[in-house]
Amino acid sequence: MSMSSSAPREIVRVDCPDDVGLIHRITGVLQDHRLNIESNHEFVDGDARHFFFRAEVTAAAAAIAGGTLHADLAAVLPPGARVRVTREDRRPIVVCATREPHCLGELLLLDAVGELPGRIVAVAANHDDLRGLVARFGVPFHHVPHEGVSRAAHEAALGQVIDAHAPAYVVLARYMRILSAAFVARYAGRLLNIHHSFLPAFAGASPYRQAFARGVKLIGATAHFVTADLDAGPIIAQDVIPVDHTFTPERMAQAGRDVEKLVLARAVRLVLEERVFVHGLRTVVFG
C-alpha cells in the first residue's frame, strides 16, 4: 500500500503472556483497520513466557480510530494483555535539576534543534543556579527551594509546578534530592533518572570516589525509571568509558559527566518513542 508522507503515524505496543499465533492475530487486526506496518519488532522472553510487540503504522486515509483499534487488539489477545496505541508526537516533558548543567543542557540543546522526540515545557530546580542557562532556550524556569521547609511541603510545591505543565514524563537531570515513596507513586512509570554510575555498582552518593578507591577500569552511567527503592528501578540505558590509574577522582567525574548526558538523552528518546517495555524489574528495549 502506498502511503503519503502526511499520513498520521501511530505506535502500537502489545505485551502479554506468550501464545501461539500472536503475530498473526495482531497483524490481522491491523489489516482489518487498513493500517500499513512501516516497522515492527517482536520478542519473546522464553523464561517468563512473555511476548512483546511494537509497530509503527500508518493509515491510507483519515485519522486512525485509536480507541477502536485498542479494543479490537485486546479482543484477540490472551487475558492480561497490555495494549497501547499512541500518536507519534512530541510529547511534553518537565526536567528537574539542581546545580549541574551538563545533562539539562544536552536535553535543552537537542530540543532546540528538533532532535528530541519531545518538548521541554518547563524546568524545575531546587536551586536558582541554572536559570540563566534555561532562559537562553526560552523555556520556563521554576525555582522551588527546599531550604527551610519540610520534605512533604517541598514535594507538594514541586508537584504543583510539574502538574501545571501536564507532562507525559518527568526527567531528573542530576536532581540531587531523594524523593519520597509518595512522590514517586504520584508519577509512577513516568519518572526517569540518571545515575552517575554503572548500576548496580556504586549506588548512592559519591560513586566516582567509590570507583577511584576500587581502582576500576571502566566508569559509566545508568538511566532508569524511578521506584521507591533508591537507584533500583528498571534500567533503560547504560554506557561505559575506559579509565586508568592516571585518572584522579575529579578527572574521572569529568569523564563521567560526558557519558551521563549521552545516556540520559538516549533514555529519554527511547521512552518518548515508546520503545521501552517494563516487565517486573527488567526492561525490553527495542532500538
Give the residue numbers marked as catalytic.
Answer: 231
Residues facing residue 280 across a β-bridge:
none
Q: Is the dihedral of CA 128, 191, 223, 110 positive or negative?
A: negative
> Who contacts 160 (Cβ-Cβ below 8 Å, separation ≥6)?
none
What is d(CA 252, CA 199) in angstroms, rounded to the nearest whole number? Answer: 16
Q: Say if CB 128 and CB 143 are below 8 A apart.
A: yes
Report in angstroms the alpha-carbon separations of 217 from 203, 220, 243, 253.
17, 10, 5, 13
Q: Say if CB 170 and CB 162 are below 8 A apart.
A: yes
> Who contacts 191 (Cβ-Cβ below 8 Å, separation ≥6)?
169, 170, 172, 179, 184, 225, 226
What's the count of helices (H) and strands (E) in the chain, helices before strands?
8, 13
Residue 114 DSSP symbol: T
